[in-house]
Amino acid sequence: MRTVRTTAAAVSVALAAGAASVAAGRLASGAALTAPPGRPLPTEPRLTVHATAPGQIVLTRDLASLRPGTYGLAGHGSHAVVGPVLEDAPHSADTVVRRLELVTHGTLRPGDSVWLTPNLYVGNPRATLGLDHADVDIPGELGPLPAWFVPGARDTWVIAVHGLGTTREHAMNLMRPLNARHVPVLALAYRGDLGAPRPPDGLNHLGETEWRDLDAALRYAVRYGARKVVLLGWSTGATMALRAAARSSLRDRIAGLVLDSPVLSWEATLRALAAARHIPSALLPLAVRAAQGRANLTADRSGTDTVTVPTVVFHGPGDQVAPWTLSRRLADSHPGLVTLHTVRDAPHAAMWNADPDFYEESLRRFMTPLV
Write the DSSP string, 265-293.
-HHHHHHHHHHHTT--GGGHHHHHHHHHH
What band does 290 get if pLDDT is binned at 50, 70 and 90?
Answer: confident
How high does pLDDT run on average in the chain? Answer: 91
Residue 116 — φ and ψ, nearest 5°? -80, 145
Helix (H) / strand (E) element for 20: namely: helix 2-33
Per-residue pLDDT tens digits for 334-351 = 999 999 999 999 999 999
For the CA atoms of 257, 177, 67, 83, what is the dihedral angle to 10 degrees? -160
Work out the end-to-end distance of the chain between its first and last CA atoms, rounded to an integer number of angstroms. 79
Q: Which of 116, 158, 192 minimizes the C-alpha distance to 350?
A: 116
Question: Is residue 11 scored above 50 in pLDDT?
Answer: no
Per-residue pLDDT tens digits for 175-224 = 999 999 999 999 999 999 999 999 999 888 999 999 999 999 999 999 99
The per-residue pLDDT for 328 is 97
What integer is the mean pLDDT of 236-259? 97
Question: Is residue 109 scored above 60 in pLDDT?
Answer: yes
> How far apart are the C-alpha atoms of 106 and 148, rounded to whole Å?
25
The per-residue pLDDT for 294 is 80
The per-residue pLDDT for 2 is 55
What integer is the mean pLDDT of 91-118? 96
> How far apart are the C-alpha atoms of 137 and 143, rounded to whole Å?
9
Specify the pairing of strand 185-188 against strand 156-161.
Answer: parallel
What integer is the mean pLDDT of 235-243? 97
What integer is the mean pLDDT of 98-109? 96
The per-residue pLDDT for 119 is 96
Per-residue pLDDT tens digits for 142-183 = 999 999 999 999 999 999 999 999 999 999 999 999 999 999
Question: Is residue 20 scored above 70 in pLDDT?
Answer: no
Specify the pairing of strand 56-60 against strand 95-105.
Answer: antiparallel
Question: Is residue 72 scored above 50 in pLDDT?
Answer: yes
